Amino acid sequence: MGTSRAPEPLREDDPREIAGYRLLGRIGEGGMGTVYLTRSRDGRLPVALKLIRRAHSRNENFRRRFAREVAAARSVTGPHLVPVVDHDAHAEQPWLATLFVPGTPLDTVLREEGPLPVGRVLAVVAGAARALAAVHGAGLVHRDVKPANLLLTRDGPWLLDFGVACAADGTSSLTTAGRMVGTPRYMSPEHALGREVTPASDVFTLGLVAAEAATGRHPYGEGGALVIATRIAGTAHDPPDLTGYPARLRPLLAATLDAAPSARPSAARTAVLAGAG
């Protein structure tokens, strides 16, 4: 959770304090709830506190998922991962507090400034891949790697929303019979087909992010979210055309966007490939 824009003042209907955290301003608002700026209990560090919407709070299935996924997030530490500092999944309105990292989400950068230079794309991929290696090393899968969940800062990229992505409302998610949740434009073929999602799925979606960051174009073309997901599902028979992408980036894209999960590099190897680019 982070943003480059100054927090907005609290609104009249916003709380002023949550569980002893004095709220200083609004950072943002989304489908899950509202994010507020506060400070750690010792006052030393800026903290982003996400308060879950009341509608979600009344859903017991949501509350159970939220508790489970926050516990998973707290179990993972590593470079380029925003740490969870506190939470209460059992409060009347559950909340989650993370370190506040000033920066700009990659999707905002691409929308406002256009594609990134190839060298910067590779640096973003290398940092995100190192974060994913820590996630995977804990036996977990992010399942929602996308530009909106990569925060660009002066210290490099930070991977956001690990552990709570699956608790988001369904307006931007694709839910299958197996309750696999993610963003249709940023899914692996196996995810889009409703098959088992492994760490290799995160590597594929990081490849999609790299391709789009370098050119502003999604490698599976234009269209609605489900149209793109359908094309991704058919990768084994109709892989994306990478000839229009920068030559320096194509080896990384070819490796990460392989249709076969077993053929893709690990997240740790992807970081090496990006660093060597």
Q: Which of 96, 67, 216, 208 is nearest to 149 (CA)?
A: 208
What was the pLDDT predicted at 245? Answer: 95
What is the value of pTM for the model shown?
Answer: 0.84
Find out whether 212 and 218 touch, Cβ atoms under 8 Å.
yes
| pLDDT confidence of residue 29 | 85
pLDDT in tens, 115-162: 999 999 999 999 999 999 999 998 889 988 999 999 999 889 999 876
- Of 99, 115, 136, the last residue of a domain is 99
Contact present, 93 and 54 (Cβ < 8 Å): yes
Annotated ligand binding at 146? The verdict is no
Beta bridge partners of 88: 95
Q: Identify whether the C-beta of residue 211 lies closer than 8 Å to the C-beta of residue 243.
A: no
Q: Are 229 and 192 in contact (CB under 8 A)?
A: yes
CATH number at residue 189: 1.10.510.10
Same domain, 234 and 174: yes
107 is catalytic: no
The predicted structure's pLDDT at residue 174: 35
| pLDDT for the residue numbered 240 | 95
Q: How many domains does the chain have?
A: 2
The pLDDT of residue 258 is 98
Which residues span the domain enclosing 254? 104-275
| Per-residue model confidence as pLDDT tens digits over 56-111 | 999 998 898 888 878 877 888 888 998 889 999 999 999 999 999 989 999 999 99
In the β-sheet with 156-159, what is the strand arrangement from edge to edge?
104-105, 150-153, 156-159
Same domain, 86 and 117: no
Query: Residue 127 is which amino acid?
Result: G
Give the whole-angstrom CA distance, residue 25 versus residue 9: 5
Closest-CA residue to 33 (of 9, 63, 12, 5):
63
Whole-number pLDDT of residue 76:
86
Q: Is 8 within the bounds of a domain? A: no
Percent of the chain scored above 70 by pLDDT?
A: 90
Question: Is the CB of residue 50 less than 8 Å from the CB of residue 33?
Answer: yes
* Residues shown for the chain: 277
Q: Which of 86, 144, 161, 238 is catalytic?
A: 144
